[in-house]
Structure formats: structure tokens, C-alpha cells
Amino acid sequence: MANELTTNTSAVPSISATGNGIAIGQLNDGLHLHIDGSSPEMIAALTRFFPQTSIQPAASHAIEWASLRTDAFCLFVLENEKYDCGAFSIGRRVALAKYTLPVYKDFFMPLTYPIVEELKQMPCIFAVRNQEYKKTAENHPALLGKLTDVTCQGENIRFRFTCFKPISQQLINEHIREFGLRSTTVRNQLDEEHWSIRSGNLIDVVSRMGITIE
């Protein structure tokens, strides 16, 4: 049976993420995570960051996920970042600075209203830095979802988001090139805090990995 993880951030006004996991805050009327098919270990890893949680029947995100762009996607990798009310910040120094084609950086970095609307149509991977180079714990979750707003705040950029499904971040490590991410002999993109835009059809990759957004 499909389930949904809902956080009550009125009891938890702010949540912090470290290198050992991923955290999410409240989004408008609450944060909803589709966890159909997730292992008990994955659910435990998620709920460890949300003491005030409950499991409820899930709404469908399949149509919205399938409607997102298929030519490019966003990757966010955070470290020691604070999530509050369904939002997080990335420093401009790590925003589209690496692992992003110059044509994407030049086009998207102004972050005008029309550009933000385009970003909101991109599928996203939300992750926290690997616990070790090129690998992390099996129950370390990354999240699939989309942005709902982007705001410039001086030296930082603030993002609001919604999440459709958690997956194992180690799965991405093991299939790093299939996901269209960069890797060397000693490191990959999930080892470094940053925001990048990558070319590729994330929706197709997720489907080929046997991951279903329902």
C-alpha cells in the first residue's frame, strides 16, 4: 500500500541536516513524501530527522513528475545546511559554479521570474553529501522532486521545494554515470556541496532504475 510521510513542523520549527542524512521542513500545509516501496530502513532514516511524523495514505505525484522537463534536471547536494519551513539555501559561490555547462549557467543564473518558472519545471535530486568519498550508507536517502520557488538573498539563494519519493543515495553512487553525474577515480558529484544543472532525462533514468513515482 502506498504511504505518505507527513511532518508537523509546528512542533519542530527548524531541522538541521548534516553529512549523515537529509532533512526537509514544512511546505505550506505540510511536507508530503511518497514512500511507496521504501524499505523499513529507509523509512527509519527519514523519520529519524522528523520526530513529529505520521504515515498516511499517499496522494499521486505520477502525472506531475511525468510532466517535468526531460532535457535537463537539477542536483542539490547540501552539507551542514539548515532546513526551515520547506526551504533551504545555497551559497552563490557553489551555485552553478561546477558540473554545469556554461550555457546553462549563463541562462539560469540571472534568476529572473521567467527563469525561475523554467526551473520549477525541472525534475530535481535533493541530496546530502556522501558520508565517504563515492559511497554512503545504504539507508542514506536522497529525494526526487521539484522546486516550487527560488529567491535571491544577497550571497545566498533560497529554494522552496516539494518531494515526490525518497530513494537510496547509494543507488545513485553505484549508477553515477547512468544518472548523468560526473565522477573521477576518487570522487563524484555527491561528495561536494553544490547546485548544478545537468543535461539528461532524469525521468527516464529513474524509470530504468525500476523506481516508480506513483
Residue spans of the domains in the chain: they are 1-205
Residue 135 Cα to chain centre, angstroms: 17
Predicted pLDDT of residue 82: 58
pLDDT given for residue 17 in this prediction: 46
- Record the pTM: 0.75
Least Cα distance to 148 among 133, 179, 126 occurs for 126
Distance between CA atoms of 160 and 148, rounded to whole angstroms?
A: 5
pLDDT at 81: 72
**What's the alpha-carbon Rg for the chain, to the nearest Å?**
16
| Residue 38 CA, distance from chain mean position | 16
Positions of the chain with pLDDT lower than 70, given as ranges: 1-59, 82-85
Q: What would the pLDDT profile of 84-139 be if each residue is shown by its tens digit?
A: 667 889 999 999 999 999 999 999 999 999 999 999 999 999 999 999 999 999 99
